[in-house]
Amino acid sequence: MSKIEGVILDWAGTTVDFGCFAPVNVFVDIFKHAGINVTMEEARAPMGMLKIDHIRAMLSMPRISKLWEGQCGVPFNEQDVENLYAEFEPALMASLSEYTDPIPEVIETVEVLRNQGLKIGSTTGYTDSMMDVVVPNALKKGYGPDFYITPDGTNSLGRPYPYMIFRNMEALKLSATWQVIKVGDTTSDIKEGINAGVWSVGVIIGSSEMGLNLEEFNALSEGDREALITKTEQSFRKNGADFTIKTMSELPELIEEINKLIAEGKRPNAR
């Protein structure tokens, strides 16, 4: 019987770096150095994309674009994007190893899935050189997928393009898109999954979409916590997610549910 063969996980905000804080702080800083104050919401909105694409997306936002033109006298151009990225990469690299702690329940869940015979792939908005820091540090702390690829391996065509997912499927010998689940914490992740034709799942707690660190999340009242979970879930659903889970520990049960849907002839992203 056909069933799920593999799960493809995002990195920051999904499996490591609760709240996805490594890149967001640097985005805020590089714009501040350029004389423009951006909000955390603006810095997070394109999260999950290749980082130079993320900078381009931020500069294209109407408010930031207008501020840039006011500051520089002309609209932003590609050289501005490259200049900001040249500042972004070394700043991120300097702090990246501090943001490689696995998110609670990830290590245990991956072990459960592996014991069920599932392959564990991964995609990211980081580059190869960034992952040279993240992968070994996460592995020391107990987390490592069977395969990872960055947009460097797909001619810089990162999310929302589907190509990183297809490279995972090839490397892990996964049979069909509808036997694959993509799990991520941003709208870019959701769109990547949809574009690849796999089951697209948003993970809520610890996500960039939610935007809180572990201490901030734990400090919320139960009512505030539930309201934020609902708001994040609605955002994922609005962007086309097939399912959402609160934490990674819910994934094995969701896979059982999806296997039943597959047996009934259902396919991902059915609108």
Point out the annotated binding site for Mg(2+).
10, 12, 185
Residue type present at position 63: R
Sign of torsion, CA 254 259 264 268? positive
Q: How many residues belong to the chain?
A: 271
Q: What are the residues whose beta carbons fall under 8 Å from the beta carbon of 11, sequence distance 6 or more?
A: 17, 122, 124, 126, 131, 134, 138, 148
What is the DSSP code string of 228-270?
HHHHHHHHHHHTT-SEEESSGGGHHHHHHHHHHHHHTT--TT-
Point out the annotated binding site.
10, 12, 185
Residue 265 neighbours by CB distance under 10 Å: 7
Residues known to be catalytic: 10, 51
